[in-house]
Amino acid sequence: MRRSLVLLGGVLAVSACAPKATPLTGDIAPARIPDTSLPRVDQKIVFNWVFSDGDYRAKGDGAARVAPPDSVRLDFFVSNGMGGGYARLVGDALTVPSEGRVHDYLPPVPMIWATLGRFAVPPLPDTVARVDGDTLRIEIGRNPRWRATFAGHELRRLELIDGGRIRERTIRDGSRHVTYERTGAHRSLDLSVVRVDTVPNFDASIWQ
């Protein structure tokens, strides 16, 4: 009985940390999702990153090699030569080598795509859209449900809402700063873009 109460208390504590989702505002609009396809050229995005998980904190620099229509390789390098690692994402298939902590750093696949401005969530019924000025908000699913916020055709925020609370979210401050948060677990990944280079076709070996 005591163990059950402790577990229940832990669940409630985590739930209390996750912010409540406010109702959608604005006028009802046709549920037309803007085109957020990756640019039609290969790009190398160089960034600085900071990862926090409770008392654990790591930082460094990294690169995302992005190839349309749906492929990205992510490389993380920890500051002061403390190691690093990489991951490959093709469509919804994520591959991460077992060594290192890169798997811990990464958000779920839809949130990874959201960091790059691509809207790619699992297909679910019940899509609702509301527009307020140049801001479009779309919800897909019921419980859980995905909420996407667009400024014009640009994805600015993606949230996973479950039980009326925002469990995870990716926030894009333009194209230069992105934050992913797992709100109830005090886990976050902060990315600051240093530069974006257009490059020739990547060598096929980076996807293997």
Map out the domains of the chain with their CATH numbers. Answer: 2-207 (2.50.20)
Evaluate if residue 6 carries a pLDDT over 80: no
| Backbone φ and ψ of 107, nearest 5° | -75, 170
**Measured between alpha carbons, how far is 114 from 181 in angstroms, rounded to an integer?**
12
Residue 3: predicted pLDDT: 38
Q: Confirm if 121 and 36 have CB atoms less than 8 A apart.
A: no
Residue 170: predicted pLDDT: 98
pLDDT, averaged across the chain: 88
Q: Confirm if 14 and 185 have CB atoms less than 8 A apart.
A: yes
| Residue 133: CB atoms within 10 Å | 8
Evaluate if residue 137 carries a pLDDT over 70: yes
For residue 116, name the pLDDT band (cuts at 50, 70, 90): very high
The predicted model scores a pTM of 0.87
Which H or E element spans position 14? helix 2-17
For residue 180, name the pLDDT band (cuts at 50, 70, 90): very high
Evaluate if residue 16 carries a pLDDT over 70: no
Residue 7: predicted pLDDT: 33
Residue 30: predicted pLDDT: 80
